[in-house]
A and B are shown apart, each in its own frame.
Chain A
Amino acid sequence: QKEVEQNSGPLSVPEGAIASLNCTYSDRVSQSFFWYRQYSGKSPELIMSIYSNGDKEDGRFTAQLNKASQYVSLLIRDSQPSDSATYLCAVVDQGAQKLVFGQGTRLTINP
């Protein structure tokens, strides 16, 4: 079983600040990486995908990928209380094309 590791948190960030979420993975051949947001009691919702080394920006969200270090991160700028949720890092298992998830990081944005 391939592993995806995340700090479970909780991570507490003041409103308007930058929230930084980190994820490491063990399978060197992985090529596709995703960040999902999950509100309490709801299903995961895709917010970012990244496939190449470097940064990918979408609105207030920036995903960063470093394949050499096997590291993926998500930055949320100008954090809002509505960003409070659990953020799941997921990596595609190349052999089976299925997603392998980390345990998620619980983020709380404090007004």
Chain B
Amino acid sequence: DTGVSQDPRHKITKRGQNVTFRCDPISEHNRLYWYRQTLGQGPEFLTYFQNEAQLEKSRLLSDRFSAERPKGSFSTLEIQRTEQGDSAMYLCASSRDTPGNTIYFGEGSWLTVV
């Protein structure tokens, strides 16, 4: 068990550019979540997958955001045409598919849009 892994850990990009973050969940976890967190706030839910199926997307997830989990293992979160308001920490988490199961977070990917 190597934990939830995220890459890159830090990304600085110019406004208007596209960025992609990758998440590798804990190997036996079939649920994968993406959250966004800004300073002074708790994490906000963006989307989650059960295996390869994307089961829910938050209204926070505009058309510029897309997430995939093509083989039910790793996931990517892409932000197109980044805006300064996208600057945040993007957190990936995973869990087993049983009620009340613990959700474990990765170390996060910091995005700064300049």
B40 contacts A by Cβ under 8 Å: yes
> CB distance B106 to A43 under 8 Å?
yes
CA–CA, A103 and B31, complex, Å = 24
> CB distance B45 to A98 under 8 Å?
yes
Residue from B41, B89, B99, B107 within 8 A of A97 (CB atoms)? B99
Chain A, interface size category, equals: 20 to 34
| CB-based A-B contact count at 8 angstroms | 58
Q: Mark A31-57, 1 if CB is under 8 A from B, else 0.
A: 110101000001111100101000000
Residues of B within 8 A of A68 (CB): none
CA–CA, A11 and B2, complex, Å = 34
User: Quick one: given A96-B56, A103-B42, A104-B42, are A44 and B91 in contact (CB under 8 Å)?
Assistant: yes
**B112 to chain A: closest CB distance in Å?**
13
Residues of B within 8 A of A90 (CB): 42
B24-70 with Cβ < 8 A to chain A = 31, 33, 40-45, 48, 55-56
Chain B, interface size category, equals: 20 to 34
CA–CA, A46 and B108, complex, Å = 15
> CB distance B103 to A99 under 8 Å?
yes
CA–CA, A43 and B56, complex, Å = 22
CA–CA, A100 and B60, complex, Å = 14
A57-111 with Cβ < 8 A to chain B = 88, 90, 92, 96-104
**B77 to chain A: closest CB distance in Å?**
15
Residues of A within 8 A of B41 (CB): 103-104
CA–CA, A46 and B102, complex, Å = 8
Given contacts A43-B107, A97-B31, A99-B93, 13 further A-B contacts (CB under 8 A): A31-B100, A32-B99, A43-B105, A43-B108, A46-B102, A49-B102, A88-B42, A92-B99, A96-B56, A99-B103, A101-B43, A103-B40, A103-B42
